[in-house]
């Protein structure tokens, strides 16, 4: 790869990152992650980044085409990302109440975390505002494989690994490997 190509790639990615920073409307953001991929920060709540948080991975899938989305939707919503967390490309987190991602966690490509269903299951209430929200907590040194979805009320214990493509609907203890849809413990670490 020639120097000219590297400069073009650098400028392209830098401009995309700046574009999404400009489009972000969340006013209560603290901390400054290292952006390697565009990220849109939205909502009325708080988004807190710890030290040395990495957003995006260079030359990983979705590097040129997508962006990450983090939204603390309501006034009292909070998304807290701990120290030394690495988040791969095309990540999304939407909090109506609270999402916590603890220190040294690694998150794969296309992962989603939601603390609410977003809409009611009852068809008569589906168009109405709001639904039940239950906080999500991800412990320290957790590894989420690619394409993992974590749903409301889930706690993932320290040092656990969640396998590729898993949908986590119930809490997972510490020091285990869990996988599947719905995710279940398949072995201890």
* pLDDT at residue 171 tops 80: yes
pTM attached to this predicted model:
0.92
Higher pLDDT pick, 8 / 55? 55
Q: Based on the residue annotation, tell me whether 119 is a catalytic residue of this protein.
A: yes
What is the extent of the structural domain holding 133?
3-188
Residue 27: the pLDDT is 95
Structural domain tally of the chain? 1
Residue 6: the pLDDT is 82
* pLDDT at residue 67 tops 80: yes
Residue 23: the pLDDT is 95
Q: Which of 37, 84, 119, 120 is catalytic?
A: 119
Q: Residue 26's domain is classified under what CATH number?
A: 2.160.10.10
Rounded Cα distance, 63 and 13, in Å: 8
- Tell me the per-residue pLDDT of 14-63, one tens digit each, with 9 for 90 and over: 999 999 999 999 999 999 999 999 999 999 999 999 999 999 988 777 67
Strands (DSSP E) found in the chain: 28-30, 34-35, 39-42, 46-49, 54-55, 68-72, 78-81, 86-87, 92-95, 98-101, 106-107, 112-114, 136-138, 143-144, 149-150, 155-156, 161-162, 167-168, 176-180, 183-188
- Determine the average pLDDT of the residues in 101-117: 97
- The DSSP symbol for 89 reads S
- Tell me the per-residue pLDDT of 115-161, one tens digit each, with 9 for 90 and over: 998 777 778 877 777 678 999 999 999 999 999 999 999 999 999 99
Rounded Cα distance, 20 and 138, in Å: 26
Residue 8: the pLDDT is 85
- Determine the average pLDDT of the residues in 110-116: 97
Rounded Cα distance, 100 and 6, in Å: 36
CB 162 within 8 A of CB 148: yes
């Amino acid at each position: 790869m020639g120097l000219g190509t590297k400069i073009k790639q650098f400028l392209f990615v830098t401009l995309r990152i700046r574009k999404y920073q400009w489009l972000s409307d969340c006013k209560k953001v603290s901390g400054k992650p290292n952006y390697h991929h565009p990220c849109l920060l939205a909502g009325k709540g708080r988004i807190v980044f710890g030290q040395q948080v990495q957003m995006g991975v260079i030359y990983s899938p979705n590097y040129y085409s997508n962006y990450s989305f983090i939204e603390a939707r309501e006034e009292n919503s909070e998304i807290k990302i701990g120290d030394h967390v690495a988040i791969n490309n095309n990540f999304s987190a939407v909090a109506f109440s609270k999402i916590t991602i603890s220190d040294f966690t690694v998150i794969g490509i296309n992962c989603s975390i939601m603390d609410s269903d977003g809409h009611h299951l009852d068809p008569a209430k589906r168009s109405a505002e709001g639904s039940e929200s239950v906080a999500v907590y991800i412990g320290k040194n957790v590894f989420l494989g690619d394409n993992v979805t974590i749903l409301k009320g889930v706690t993932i214990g320290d040092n656990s690994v969640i396998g590729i493509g898993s949908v986590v609907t119930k809490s997972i203890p510490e020091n285990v490997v869990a996988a599947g849809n719905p995710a279940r413990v398949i072995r201890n670490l």
